[in-house]
Every structure is written in C-alpha cells, then in structure tokens.
Amino acid sequence: MLNIRPATPDDIPEILAFIRELAHYEKEPASAVATHDDLLRDGFGPTKRFRCLIAEWSGEPVGFALFFYNYSTWKGRAGIYLEDLFVRPAFRGKGIGKGLLAKVAAIAVAESCPRLEWAVLDWNQPAIDFYNSLGATPMSEWTTMRLSGDALPALASTTPVPQT
C-alpha cells in the first residue's frame, strides 16, 4: 500500500500542493511563494539544491519529504537537513511519516552522513511527540537565527570596516 520513491519533474505540481498545504497548516499560507520553475531549477536542474521523496498510498500521492545537504565542520562530513515533512491529514497514523523519515535516514546512513536534522514549530505538539517517539532529540540549547526580507540585502551591502 505504501510506496516511497524519488520525486521527478512530473511531481512538481503535487510537491507545490504539499508545500501550500503545509504552509496552511503552519499558519503561514502567504509565505509559500515557490513556483514550478523554482522547483524545476533547484531540484531537477544541473545544480541540484534539494532532493525530494514522494509517498504514495495505493498509488495516490499523500506526502513528501524534501531535504538538502549541510556540512558539519566538527564531524568533517555532510549531513542532511530535512526542510519539509508532510502527510495529508486523512493519511496520518498509517506510518507514512515514519516511512518517509526512515527513507531519509537510510539515505543519510548510506552516504555516511553523521546526522539528520530538522526544525519543528514549538506549538506543533503532535509532531514533537512523533519525533520524540522515533528517538529524535530536541536541541533546546540552540536558537535558530534568520536573515530575510530587507535585512538580508542590507547586510550584504555593508562594507567591512578595516581594523587599524
């Protein structure tokens, strides 16, 4: 019943639908502005910026996992960062999310990645409970920082002041 496979360019409309459903669930629907061309370029073009898995239940796409590589200077190896994990509500509780995570974990192990990391919203207790049940450890000593909007180009345009 459950099939997990790598996404293809033909899956882009479904991936976009999953992204928008996830953004709605996370109460940020206006923030999901990725386009078909963005996903085609970055997931299936010459410079791949992400990989994606599609979960099918009886042939119907019902979820996805989108991930990319980061690098641990301490471990001296690439790791995997899971950007999105989503299963449509009607299909939750069937092991699909666990199957997607297990497949990403298997990729990490096969590629000698020392870690698989992701973020979860602090109000999303069902997801936190699910991740804890898999043995994931919350990293409460870290605070995620982000530069976006006007702050990113503002910092990029500053000229470092030489020290005298």
HSE-CB of 47 using CA atoms within 13 angstroms:
1
Yes or no: say if 87 and 63 are a contact pair by the CB < 8 Å rule: yes
Yes or no: say if 15 and 7 are a contact pair by the CB < 8 Å rule: yes
Q: Measured between alpha carbons, how far is 110 from 80 in angstroms, rounded to an integer?
A: 12
Q: Across the chain, which distance is largest between two alpha carbons, in Å?
A: 67
Q: Which candidate in 25, 69, 81, 131 is catalytic?
A: 131
- Catalytic residue check, 25: no
Closest CA to 65 of 55, 57, 75, 73: 55
Q: Measured between alpha carbons, how far is 113 from 122 in angstroms, rounded to an integer?
A: 26
First to last CA, the chain: 67
The catalytic residues are 131
